[in-house]
Amino acid sequence: MPGTTTKESTKTLLLEKGTEIMLEKGYNNTGIMEVLQSTGVPKGSFYHYFESKEDFGLQIINYFDQASKEKLRTTVLNQSISPLQRLKSYCELGIEHFLSQKCRKGCLISNLSQEMADQNEIFRARLLEIQNENTKVFATCLKEAQEAGEISKSFNTNDLAELFQAAWGGAVMRSKICKTVEPMQSFMDMMFGRMLTP
Amino acid sequence: MPGTTTKESTKTLLLEKGTEIMLEKGYNNTGIMEVLQSTGVPKGSFYHYFESKEDFGLQIINYFDQASKEKLRTTVLNQSISPLQRLKSYCELGIEHFLSQKCRKGCLISNLSQEMADQNEIFRARLLEIQNENTKVFATCLKEAQEAGEISKSFNTNDLAELFQAAWGGAVMRSKICKTVEPMQSFMDMMFGRMLTP
């Protein structure tokens, strides 16, 4: 059904463009009109796919999360390489991607968490859910690194996963302000060269 | 001169209220009208003290930074306690303050860095300057901890200061989403109980 394809493409186009704009400008500062103008989609169509700006924002979060989960699948969950190497691949991919974006944007989940945590309970609940899912993926990988003897057995891998993600998110934020990937690189040097070494 | 005092109080009132609102809502989402309504200051007076919303935002950043520097002075720079204990005091004060704010708001420098890094070069430059100043304070304290034998001599204290702040900022963001100080507490356990131990 070509009709279905077109409808799906329009929705995907709106989600794609909305993600790009929201990554740079945040949720509150993103206007629906700007999204419509940059895609050429009429207003009526927009409200066919999305109930409201809030619904659009939540669907953008899910759209971004799907892409993030795919990145986790090819790195942190990639059983063909060692657990510690998987975490390194995740960070290397992050640096590569951030450079390709000219050190702009960063992670939508972090950006919106910072912006919306005190503003909207529905957003907060969804962002918390995604953060928790991701922390579990990192904790499992760190547990496997421990079992493989790559990191010390004395770590609490849940706490370590929290620290790993907090520090990585902080390094990305710092890189956004510096407009270089040095803080992300420094994170990798410290984490893999010093903190996680047995 | 009582007139001068009143003028200064009005400006301080606008900066105080502006800081509170901007901490929760960010820069773009904070309206000057909301600040005026909540303080009872007329619009004309506002533009007597501030050239524009941007000028107001930048002065709020400086106002917040002054208070932050005072917190650093009583903790990280407090020569009457050991360097490592100073860093602990800083985090303990942070947890106490965050609890008193009902796990809302967080750090204005981090919040606005996340929001404004891609949006406004003047904000970005000022936020970068403040971040760099703070990193230097942490690096000096960590260097002193090293000299006092409290942490391993093998650390690069500049990189460690970057990691410490990135992870702390990330933990605050996570606490804002969880609405508990558990991530900040977990940061302290990991950092002081595990990562920094010789």
| pLDDT of A197 | 85
Distance CA A128, CA A118 (A): 13
| pLDDT of B2 | 42
Nearest Cα residue to A22 out of B191, B118, B103: B118
Instruction: Tell me the pLDDT tens digit for each residue of B153-163.
Output: 999 999 999 99
pLDDT of residue B3 exceeding 50, the answer is no
Distance CA B128, CA B149 (A): 31
Instruction: Tell me the pLDDT tens digit for each residue of A112-164.
Output: 999 999 999 999 999 999 999 999 999 999 999 999 999 999 999 999 999 99
CB contact under 8 A, B111 and A110: no
Distance CA B137, CA B103 (A): 26
Please tell me the number of Cα atoms within 13 Å of B66 on its side-chain side: 9
Distance CA A114, CA A24 (A): 13
Q: Is A122 on the interface with B (CB under 8 A)?
A: no
Q: Supply B81's token pair.
A: 């306690």
Cα angle B104, B54, B121 (rounded to 5 degrees) comes to 95
Which letter does DSSP use for residue A149 in this model? T
Instruction: Tell me the pLDDT tens digit for each residue of A66-113.
Output: 999 999 999 999 999 999 999 999 999 999 999 999 999 999 999 999
Residues with Cβ within 8 Å of B159's Cβ and at least 6 positions away in sequence, in order, are A186, A189, A190
Residues 134-193 of B with CB under 8 A from A: 154-156, 159-160, 162-163, 165-171, 173-174, 176-179, 183, 186-187, 189-191
Q: What is the dihedral of CA B185, B190, B191, B195, to 10 degrees?
A: 180
Write down all domains in chain A, each with its CATH number in brackets.
54-195 (1.10.357.10)
CB contact under 8 A, B176 and A110: no
Which residue of B lies nearest to A156 if distances are taken between CA atoms?
B190
Q: Supply A188's token pair.
A: 């990798």
CB contact under 8 A, B104 and A117: yes
Chain A residues in contact with B157 by the CB 8 A cut-off are none
Chain A residues in contact with B26 by the CB 8 A cut-off are 26, 28, 115
On average, the pLDDT of chain B sits at 95
Place of tokens 């990305």: A172
CB contact under 8 A, A104 and B118: yes
Distance CA B117, CA B112 (A): 8
Chain A residues in contact with B165 by the CB 8 A cut-off are 170, 174
- Amino acid B95 reads I
Distance CA A66, CA A60 (A): 10
**Cβ-contact B14, B41 below 8 angstroms:** yes
pLDDT of residue B150 exceeding 80, the answer is yes
Place of tokens 């040097």: A189
Chain B residues in contact with A167 by the CB 8 A cut-off are 163, 166-167, 170
Instruction: Tell me the pLDDT tens digit for each residue of B70-121.
Output: 999 999 999 999 999 999 999 999 999 999 999 999 999 999 999 999 999 9
Nearest Cα residue to B76 out of B66, B91, B59, B63: B91
pLDDT of residue B1 exceeding 70, the answer is no
- Which spans in chain A are helix H? 2-25, 32-39, 43-49, 53-74, 83-100, 108-116, 121-147, 157-178, 182-190
pLDDT of residue A1 exceeding 70, the answer is no
pLDDT of residue B138 exceeding 90, the answer is yes
Distance CA B139, CA B137 (A): 6
Give the minimum alpha-carbon distance from B170 to chain A in angstroms, rounded to a whole number: 4
pLDDT of residue A3 exceeding 60, the answer is no
| pLDDT of B57 | 98
Chain A residues in contact with B175 by the CB 8 A cut-off are none
CB contact under 8 A, B187 and A162: yes
Q: What is the dihedral of CA A49, A52, A54, A60, to 10 degrees?
A: 20
**Cβ-contact B86, B75 below 8 angstroms:** yes
- Amino acid A92 reads E
Interface test with B, best of A111, A114, A124 (most B CBs within 10 A): A114
Q: Is A29 on the interface with B (CB under 8 A)?
A: yes
Q: Is B32 on the interface with A (CB under 8 A)?
A: no
Distance CA A112, CA A193 (A): 31
| pLDDT of B5 | 53
